[in-house]
Structure 1
Amino acid sequence: MKLPETFRAAFVIARRDFTATVFRKTFFLFLLGPLFPLLIGVGMFGIGAQVDRNAKPPPVAVISSQQDFELLSAAREQLAPAADPLPMVELRHVIPEADLAAQKDELLSSADEPVMAVLDGGLTAPHLTGTVTSKDRTARHIRLYIDEARRMAAGPPLKAVKVQITQSKKMAGPQAARRVQTGRSGQALLFVLTILLAGMVLSQLIEEKSSKVIEVLAAAVPVDAIFLGKLFAMLATSLTGIAVWTVAGAFAIDSFKAGGVSSLTAPAVGWPAFIALIFVYFSMSYLLIGATFLGIGAHASTAREVQILSMPVTMGQLVLFGFASLAVGQPYSTVGIAAAVFPLSSPFAMIARAAEQPALWPHLLALIWQGLWVALILKMASAVFRRSVLKSGKSRRRWWQRKAA
């Protein structure tokens, strides 16, 4: 059968499966099903936010003499035991250069060695520059360091000095750190939706195998068209459910004024492109995992066999999610590139990259690459199905065995 006819047959199969799934009373129960996992996810997000709050923030760059920096470091060590549960702001010494303004701009905009702020002026005229205010944690810690360092300095007691604060928008460090949180949130959402919805295509295939419907379909249209149609029908069903959950979530956020999403930093590609990429990468992740599940369904005949065979795939998804999580914050490292290239982890790695890097062309390449792997896995799954269920396909015997027969 030619390619256009295959697509036409796949569309007929997809329309049949989509209608049979969505226009059922049980689909309403399907829409209610994720409420409990979502509640658990909200709790896990709160735990993750607490972990991020306890995480070590970028240091403050101190442009000063070695003597002043040693006094500030000693003051930090002196104050550390009496600090609150959050870690004290760390300091990093930078040797002063001739052009102080250019040096501060370079430090604040550097993504390789991000800093929270820049402190200059020594202990007599301290000046803190960055995305800080006089009441936030960084400014309070710096004032404590300076007061303690002046107290520890040799000589007569000095009068209290006020720290001058200048807010700057040239902050790659804190913004990059907050975009990491946005990337991790996008990864978690993608993973939860994929692992929650990808199993539907497997259960439907097993149901039709047990009732011999799949064999009737295979007699009318190619197996490739059946698998393609079923996969896209379940994808359309999943996107329908996601659309309903998105509308319900928007109403809930508007009603309760939840601050979890609003607290996230805008991704590098912008919110509209990031949300669109979440839907696109969910589709690719669903197609990749769904095609794998179809290959599993070719070997399974009962629900028990499905559970046995799908368990390694589920555990593999967890491993792939952890692998992609290692790439967050370091998209150009070996791990980051490997996670983006490996097809099953590529959607998770690329959605995190969208939160951290503004370029859009890598996403086009990634989607083409993932689409090629979807086609390859579907081809392999249909070949396995023909051999194991329909008992058709090319013979595996060698040429001398066929000649002898």
Structure 2
Amino acid sequence: MNETLRAAFVIAQRDFTAVILSKTFILFLLGPLFPLIIFVFAQSFGDKIDKDVSRPAVGVAMSALDTQRLTDARDRITQKIGDQAMPVLRPYPAGTDPKAMLAGKDAKAVAMLSGTLSMPRLTGKEADIRQFEGDLGLLIGVARAGSAMPDTPIAKDIVSTSSGSEQQSRLVTGRTAQVLLFLLTMLLAGMVLSNMVEEKTNKIIEILAAAVPVDAIFLGKLIAMLGMSFVGIAVWGLTALTGYAFFMGTSFPMPTPAIGWPMFVLLFFLYFATAYTLLGSLFIGVGAQASTVREVQTLSMPITMCQVVIFFFASYAVNRMGEAPEVAAAIFPFSSPFAMIARAAQSDAIWPHLLAIVWQLLWVALIIRIGVRLFRRNVLKSGGGGRKRLFGRKAGPAA
């Protein structure tokens, strides 16, 4: 066992150094930053477009007095419930024909409100009328009431804590951590597969297998790729925090998890390690059986799709802590990291995480053992006979 671990660390040191010191690793680190920059710019432009496009406009063809009363009423309402809650009012001269205006090519309103406040008329397509009649009815009612409409003051009783509010806030933290954990795992775990296929194609893996136990090769590659992933996460995390502090200040936007930020961050890295090694061990097993890139793609696609389904299952169970779906997601090894990081945001208990991490590591060991057996049988011919490819006919004996 000690020899296997020593050999695994030698393999890990070799792979880690080769990846970190390569020129492509710099491009790998810069790769996710470009989509992030594009996303920030797209989000800013999207907000501007959203203000102009997503808010529908209703034309108002009433007298100047009625139009002003409607505008004042809209201002009073939006001060309370937000500007996005009511449609934009676009004034038109009194007497404008609503049907002719809507039929024109330069029409900027999707519906027209005409008549008077006492006898209003809404003109538009049936779907648009259904969309606006409720809001416009409220708007006309407030405009009719004018200053006679009372603005009832509400007494305020401020409390320092609210368990319901904190629970909802922690759900946000849990869901965000789940998404981040899933994206990082899917982004980085595939590198284990490509590394295995590359060395298998170059016959390096057979040379290593002749010198050290196959278990050590598998475990060493997992450790090396996990270490490389931590380097990437550290660079991306520091870059994101620096950018956020520069543009947004020092206030942190995420609600504090129940277990506290230091322990939550530690558990996040631990669950990333277990999620990565669980998926990575599967990918190593696949890469050990496949002989071509086509075979790798054929076998890895079902694993990836299953992982997406598993993530959605864990996401579904995040706000059902203690119920059957959440317990099942916490027990199933491939969804356990996602379910447990969400639990850490909502509960301050430590012992379930200790059990979950041990449980997940046992499954990592089991999957590695199965992959090693398949590798020996299909690649190293320990089962006897000619070498058998994963797809196709049996190949002749190796030279």
SS in 2 for 1:267: coil
Residue 314 (structure 1) shift: 1.1
Contact in 2 for aligned 1:329/1:356 (Cα 8 Å): no
Sort the Cα spacing of 1:15 and 1:44 in 2 relative to 1 into closer, same or farther, 3 A: farther
**Counterparts of 1:43 and 1:325, CA distance in 2:** 28
Q: Deviations over 1:257-311 (max 9, x none)?
A: 268x822110111111111111111111000000000111122112222122111
- 2:204 is the counterpart of 1:206: no
Sort the Cα spacing of 1:299 and 1:258 in 2 relative to 1 into closer, same or farther, 3 A: farther
Q: 1:265 aligns to what?
A: 255
**Counterparts of 1:188 and 1:177, CA distance in 2:** 17
- 2:345 is the counterpart of 1:355: yes
**Counterparts of 1:7 and 1:42, CA distance in 2:** 44
Mapping 1:57-76, distance limit 5 Å: none
SS in 2 for 1:165: coil
Q: 1:320 aligns to what?
A: 310
Q: Which amino acid in 1 is paired with 2:173?
A: T
Sort the Cα spacing of 1:162 and 1:224 in 2 relative to 1 into closer, same or farther, 3 A: same
Contact in 2 for aligned 1:327/1:339 (Cα 8 Å): yes
**Counterparts of 2:39 and 2:328, CA distance in 1:** 28
The correspondence for 1:20, drawn from 3, 6, 18, is: 18
**Counterparts of 1:198 and 1:166, CA distance in 2:** 51
**Counterparts of 2:185 and 2:286, CA distance in 1:** 17
Percent identical across equivalent pairs?
A: 54
Mapping 1:3-402, distance limit 5 Å: 3-39=1-37, 162-257=153-248, 262-393=252-383
**Counterparts of 2:230 and 2:220, CA distance in 1:** 15
Residue 161 (structure 1) shift: 5.7
**Counterparts of 1:40 and 1:336, CA distance in 2:** 36
SS in 2 for 1:241: helix
Residue 162 (structure 1) shift: 3.6
Sort the Cα spacing of 1:309 and 1:41 in 2 relative to 1 into closer, same or farther, 3 A: farther
Contact in 2 for aligned 1:12/1:229 (Cα 8 Å): yes
Q: Deviations over 1:48-68 (max 9, x none)?
A: xxxxxxxxxxxxxxxxxxxxx
Contact in 2 for aligned 1:190/1:348 (Cα 8 Å): yes
Which piece of structure 1 moves more, 227-236 or 311-320? 311-320
SS in 2 for 1:307: helix
SS in 2 for 1:167: coil
Q: Deviations over 1:107-164 (max 9, x none)?
A: xxxxxxxxxxxxxxxxxxxxxxxxxxxxxxxxxxxxxxxxx9xx9xxxxx99976422
What root-mean-square deviation, in Å, do the aligned CA atoms of Structure 1 and Structure 2 show?
3.0
Sort the Cα spacing of 1:167 and 1:346 in 2 relative to 1 into closer, same or farther, 3 A: same
Contact in 2 for aligned 1:383/1:393 (Cα 8 Å): no
TM-score normalised by length of structure 2 = 0.68
Q: Which amino acid in 2 is paired with 1:174?
A: S
Q: Which amino acid in 2 is paired with 1:201?
A: V
**Counterparts of 2:248 and 2:154, CA distance in 1:** 36
Sort the Cα spacing of 1:158 and 1:243 in 2 relative to 1 into closer, same or farther, 3 A: closer
Residue 41 (structure 1) shift: 7.1
Q: Which amino acid in 1 is paired with 2:11?
A: I
- In our comparison, the structure showing a higher alpha carbon Rg is 2
Contact in 2 for aligned 1:209/1:215 (Cα 8 Å): yes
Sort the Cα spacing of 1:167 and 1:222 in 2 relative to 1 into closer, same or farther, 3 A: same
Gap regions ≥5 residues in structure 1 = 47-78, 88-147, 152-156, 396-405
Residue 25 (structure 1) shift: 1.1
Residue 45 (structure 1) shift: 9.9
Residue 9 (structure 1) shift: 0.6
SS in 1 for 2:289: coil
**Counterparts of 1:384 and 1:174, CA distance in 2:** 51
Contact in 2 for aligned 1:198/1:289 (Cα 8 Å): yes
**Counterparts of 1:310 and 1:158, CA distance in 2:** 65
Q: Which amino acid in 2 is paired with 1:341?
A: I
Contact in 2 for aligned 1:180/1:355 (Cα 8 Å): yes
Q: Which amino acid in 2 is paired with 1:372?
A: L
Residue 169 (structure 1) shift: 2.5
Q: Deviations over 1:139-194 (max 9, x none)?
A: xxxxxxxxx9xx9xxxxx99976422111123111111111111111011101100
Q: Which amino acid in 1 is paired with 2:326?
A: G
Gap regions ≥5 residues in structure 2 = 45-76, 86-141, 386-399
Q: Which amino acid in 2 is paired with 1:170?
A: T
**Counterparts of 1:44 and 1:385, CA distance in 2:** 46
SS in 1 for 2:156: strand
Sort the Cα spacing of 1:162 and 1:222 in 2 relative to 1 into closer, same or farther, 3 A: same
Q: 1:93 aligns to what?
A: none
Task: Say how many residue pairs are matched.
Answer: 295
Q: Deviations over 1:222-259 (max 9, x none)?
A: 11111000111000011111111122222211211268
Q: Which amino acid in 1 is paired with 2:287?
A: G
Contact in 2 for aligned 1:340/1:350 (Cα 8 Å): yes
**Counterparts of 1:339 and 1:253, CA distance in 2:** 33
Q: Which amino acid in 1 is paired with 2:336?
A: S
**Counterparts of 2:377 and 2:40, CA distance in 1:** 45
